[in-house]
Homo-oligomer: A and B are copies of this chain.
Amino acid sequence: MSPKITTELLKQLRQVMKNPRYVQEPVQAYIVPSGDAHQSEYIAPCDCRRAFISGFDGSAGTAIITEQHAAMWTDGRYFLQAAHQMDSNWTLMKMGLKDTPTQEDWLVSVLPEGSKVGVDPFIIPAEQWKRMSKALRSAGHDLVPVKENLIDTIWTDCPQRPCKPLITLDLSYTGVSWRDKIVALRSKMAERKVMWFVVTALDEVAWLFNLRGFDVEYNPVFFAYAVIGMNTIRLFIDGDRIMDPAVREHLQLDSTLEPEFKIQVMPYGSILSELQAVGAGLSPKEKVWLSDKASYALTEAIPKAYRYLTPYTPICIAKAVKNTAETEGMRRAHIKDAVALCELFNWLEKEVPKGTVTEILAADKAEEFRSQQKDFVELSFATISSTGPNGAIIHYKPVPETNRTLSVNEIYLLDSGAQYKDGTTDVTRTMHFGTPSAYEKECFTYVLKGHIAVSAAIFPNGTKGHLLDSFARSALWDCGLDYLHGTGHGVGSFLNVHEGPCGISYKTFADEPLEAGMIVSDEPGYYEDGSFGIRIENVVLVIPAETKYNFKNRGSLTFEPLTLVPIQTKMIDVNLLTEKECNWVNEYHQKCREVVGAELERQGRHEALGWLLRETEPLARVQ
């Protein structure tokens, strides 16, 4: 991996930073954040501006370019990668280290008096603008919006913004029509006394209209905004994809409808001017609801007194609670996914000893088996296929330079998932194709105990996920071990594999309480630098729990695993399990046998069925 040479690019950028064609007054610094205009986690190639200007293409990082300096802030996952990908024009700012200045502090320390700092107001979230702006102002500088993105002005071979065809989802997949979703949204708006709701997150637009797209890899979304009024619906979307008859019919664009359900389709780029018109036309007490993560540009379009900002939108919260059609779809998707993984692991078991299977080949094979399943659309994220020491790199993705061959002497960790039309999967299994050491089994068993502690937890309605995080760590903690990531994230239903507002992590406190119907991952791990990585991940559904008593009539919740892939018993030190944990494993494997076994049978995959049956033999605890 050789660094990108950025001398010329930086020179060009510094020129446009002073060019009156793009900036009213010269800016002494220009900020290039990671995200797109929708604050997406995964972004399209045309939005990879930070990677273009710096060479560093990790998922998180902010570049700031001044007349003299170019600096990149990123976190511990990416220190090495960023250092490799950037040339000597760049200074790496290692976030989380004590001596690393914040972006604000650094700017204040390097800028001449009374400087202007520019940023694309569409890319920076309003809350971040506010913080940065305040800090700069108190030091005598100004944060200014630069309308035209300065990177785009110098990015001559910038890829086009994707505009791929849409797919429509009928009621059998979504359970609720877009019309009923609009009705529910308007009732939430009425409750909060807001007149308008602005949909800025791509997965929220997709969910609301029961449409999916392919504009961003792994996330079945499309570039669009929506503005929902009490009597109007405006959808901002480009391309002739809206001319597709199936889409037109789905959205009832050509039908005679009550005016409040008539969708006005407008160009993607007109969102700002339309929102400004909404903002200008507001009567006193008419509020506009936006996510506090919406861009500064859109937030500013609404005068401050009329804004109603919340960390989670009503769509985000409604989307998180899956209805019966969605949970049934997720169940189906997970059964198909399990079939594919049984095939894969059966194949690996035969092939690995030959020494011909690399991490990339294993990942490709996993995709191949998944793509054989009904309604397969694409992967839900880049497969983490890692063996031996690569397994300890939590966000590893095999590339030719690092591609390692699987062997009977190393632990193999596969974290992968797919988008099916009926659901999204995300599963991690850690396997040994030879004989694991006692130490490897010990660590695996602690991770398994943590996985079970969360999966089998019973907790009151209203409990936030972060209160369950320690359950996943307790067995590791007892032995002085731990893992440095959260335990779980929300999972979309044929949508983003990471979604809010719930999760299981020590890091968040602002998560929304878990509710029956929410879907999260349960994925504790243990990683030993330079040696191996272990993670056991199921996607689990929050369900009501039956309990002996019912304090204050609050009701209780627990989890039902949707993922039904055997957990390798060879890796378990049974004597470290309690009776309850041992029963959990056996019952889980019994369910895998029954449910996935039947599907393997139906699909005539007898060899994989044999593998499943072998792998799900009950554990026996020595008393």
Any chain B CB within 8 A of the CB of A467?
yes
Would you call B470 and A548 a contact (CB within 8 A)? Answer: no
One of B467, B551, B554 near A470 (C-beta < 8 A): B467
Across-interface contacts of A460 in B (CB, < 8 A): 477, 480, 482
| CB-CB under 8 A for A549 and B458, given A469-B467, A470-B470 | no
Residues 447-478 of A contacting B (Cβ, < 8 Å): 457-460, 467-471, 473-474, 476-478
Name which residue of chain B comes closest to A549, CB basis: B480
CB distance from A492 to the nearest CB of B (A): 27
| CB-CB under 8 A for A551 and B480, given A506-B467, A509-B509 | yes
Residues 69-83 of A contacting B (Cβ, < 8 Å): none
- Given the complex of chains A and B, what is the CA–CA distance between A470 and B468 in angstroms? 7
Would you call A479 and B509 a contact (CB within 8 A)? Answer: no
- Cβ contacts A357-394/B at 8 Å (1 or 0 each): 00000000000000000000000000000000000000
| CB-CB under 8 A for A457 and B477, given A469-B467, A470-B467 | yes
- Given the complex of chains A and B, what is the CA–CA distance between A355 and B479 in angstroms? 51
Name which residue of chain B comes closest to A469, CB basis: B467
Would you call B509 and A477 a contact (CB within 8 A)? Answer: no
Any chain B CB within 8 A of the CB of A556?
yes
Any chain B CB within 8 A of the CB of A348?
no
Would you call B471 and A458 a contact (CB within 8 A)? Answer: no
- Cβ contacts A479-513/B at 8 Å (1 or 0 each): 11110000000000000000000000010010000
Any chain B CB within 8 A of the CB of A550?
yes
- Given the complex of chains A and B, what is the CA–CA distance between A262 and B547 in angstroms? 65
Would you call B459 and A477 a contact (CB within 8 A)? Answer: yes
| CB-CB under 8 A for A556 and B467, given A460-B482, A482-B460 | no
- Given the complex of chains A and B, what is the CA–CA distance between A349 and B435 in angstroms? 61
Across-interface contacts of A480 in B (CB, < 8 A): 458, 460, 545, 547-551, 556
Across-interface contacts of A509 in B (CB, < 8 A): 509
- Cβ contacts A557-578/B at 8 Å (1 or 0 each): 0000000000000000000001
Would you call B481 and A551 a contact (CB within 8 A)? Answer: yes
How many chain copies does the complex carry? 2
CB distance from A303 to the nearest CB of B (A): 13
Would you call B548 and A482 a contact (CB within 8 A)? Answer: no
Across-interface contacts of A556 in B (CB, < 8 A): 477, 480
| CB-CB under 8 A for A477 and B506, given A467-B469, A554-B482 | no
Q: Taking each of A458, A468, A470, which has the highest tally of chain B beta carbons within 10 Å of its own beta carbon?
A: A470
CB distance from A182 to the nearest CB of B (A): 26
- Given the complex of chains A and B, what is the CA–CA distance between A459 and B479 in angstroms? 9
Name which residue of chain B comes closest to A547, CB basis: B480
CB distance from A226 to the nearest CB of B (A): 29
- Given the complex of chains A and B, what is the CA–CA distance between A171 and B167 in angstroms? 77
CB distance from A310 to the nearest CB of B (A): 17
Across-interface contacts of A506 in B (CB, < 8 A): 467
CB distance from A398 to the nearest CB of B (A): 25
- Given the complex of chains A and B, what is the CA–CA distance between A467 and B473 in angstroms? 10
One of B458, B470, B479 near A478 (C-beta < 8 A): B458
Across-interface contacts of A547 in B (CB, < 8 A): 478-480
Across-interface contacts of A479 in B (CB, < 8 A): 547-549
Across-interface contacts of A552 in B (CB, < 8 A): 482
- Given the complex of chains A and B, what is the CA–CA distance between A556 and B550 in angstroms? 36
Across-interface contacts of A554 in B (CB, < 8 A): 482
Name which residue of chain B comes closest to A470, CB basis: B467
- Given the complex of chains A and B, what is the CA–CA distance between A476 and B549 in angstroms? 10
Across-interface contacts of A457 in B (CB, < 8 A): 474, 477
CB distance from A516 to the nearest CB of B (A): 15
Name which residue of chain B comes closest to A528, CB basis: B551
Would you call B477 and A474 a contact (CB within 8 A)? Answer: no
CB distance from A578 to the nearest CB of B (A): 8
CB distance from A108 to the nearest CB of B (A): 13
Across-interface contacts of A551 in B (CB, < 8 A): 476, 480-482
Across-interface contacts of A474 in B (CB, < 8 A): 457, 471
- Given the complex of chains A and B, what is the CA–CA distance between A479 and B548 in angstroms? 5
- Given the complex of chains A and B, what is the CA–CA distance between A418 and B518 in angstroms? 48
Residues 224-259 of A contacting B (Cβ, < 8 Å): none
Across-interface contacts of A578 in B (CB, < 8 A): 578
CB distance from A162 to the nearest CB of B (A): 39
Name which residue of chain B comes closest to A529, CB basis: B552
- Given the complex of chains A and B, what is the CA–CA distance between A155 and B476 in angstroms? 60
- Cβ contacts A527-547/B at 8 Å (1 or 0 each): 000000000000000000101
Across-interface contacts of A549 in B (CB, < 8 A): 479-481
Across-interface contacts of A471 in B (CB, < 8 A): 470, 474
Across-interface contacts of A478 in B (CB, < 8 A): 458, 547
Q: Taking each of A458, A473, A482, which has the highest tally of chain B beta carbons within 10 Å of its own beta carbon?
A: A482
- Given the complex of chains A and B, what is the CA–CA distance between A551 and B479 in angstroms? 9
Can you list 28 contacts pairing A with B, beta carbon distance less than 8 Å? A457-B474, A457-B477, A458-B477, A458-B478, A458-B480, A459-B473, A459-B477, A460-B477, A460-B480, A460-B482, A467-B469, A467-B470, A467-B506, A468-B470, A470-B470, A478-B547, A479-B547, A479-B548, A479-B549, A480-B545, A480-B548, A480-B549, A480-B550, A481-B549, A481-B551, A482-B551, A482-B552, A482-B554
List the 8 shortest-distance A-B pairs measured between CB atoms, nearest first: A480-B547, A509-B509, A480-B549, A479-B548, A480-B550, A481-B551, A467-B470, A459-B477
* Interface contacts beyond A460-B480, A460-B482, A476-B551: sample of 4 additional A-B pairs, CB < 8 Å, sorted by A: A458-B480, A479-B548, A480-B551, A482-B552
